[in-house]
Structure 1
């Protein structure tokens, strides 16, 4: 914990540096949600096709990015809101203006009590 997933449009490929974003995001999660740095894990999923309204999905005029942060229960709604605002601010900084409309969103959710993990070395 936290488990972070970043889903984003292929359109962003040349305008987005996932590694730099992850580094800044992990620092924010540690600062705002009191997570341990070594617990931060982020999975990036680039989507080949995303659609916006009635626009042609093959037109690169729009890009969609959504960040989901799964945290162990116990954070206040205020902490969760601060974290999502921080994520949106980081996206503003880490996605260059490359001629597309950026549709960015973020959410923090509590992990289910059944959440378990393991690490293999």
Structure 2
């Protein structure tokens, strides 16, 4: 914990994945909610098959999901959401004529059933 997954549509070919990984980890780990930087697991997933809406418009997306153990305050969640959104807002390409949608979601993980071990 935490787990950060960022999905982005394949029509954003200039998405700077290595830079995004570094900056997202730095932003999230700077939060007082993350006690140990080695607990953060981040992955980027390029989505090759997707559809946005029903119109034949040029559309793209970047969606981040940050999964945290339950118990965080709404303020802490909002802060983490904005940390992730700020990095993605700055780094996401904006191709000419393409509407890019950015979203960030914070998800509570059930604390009693979560298992984590260092092997």
Query: If the length of structure 2 is used for normalisation, what is the TM-score?
Result: 0.85
Question: Gapped runs of 5+ residues in structure 2?
Answer: none
Give the equivalent residue in structure 1 for 2:110: 112
Q: Please state which structure has a larger fraction of its residues in helix.
A: 1
- Aligned mates of 2:85, 2:49 — CA distance in 1: 22
- Deviation per CA, 1:84-119: give whole Å up to 9, x if none: 122222111111222221101001111112111344
Question: Gapped runs of 5+ residues in structure 1?
Answer: none
Identify the match of residue 81 of structure 1 among 78, 83, 86: 78
- Aligned mates of 1:33, 1:109 — CA distance in 2: 18
RMSD, aligned α-carbons: 1.7
- Deviation per CA, 1:6-51: give whole Å up to 9, x if none: 111001122x112211211112212224312111111222111221
The count of aligned residue pairs is 116
- Aligned mates of 1:115, 1:18 — CA distance in 2: 28
- Aligned mates of 2:43, 2:118 — CA distance in 1: 16
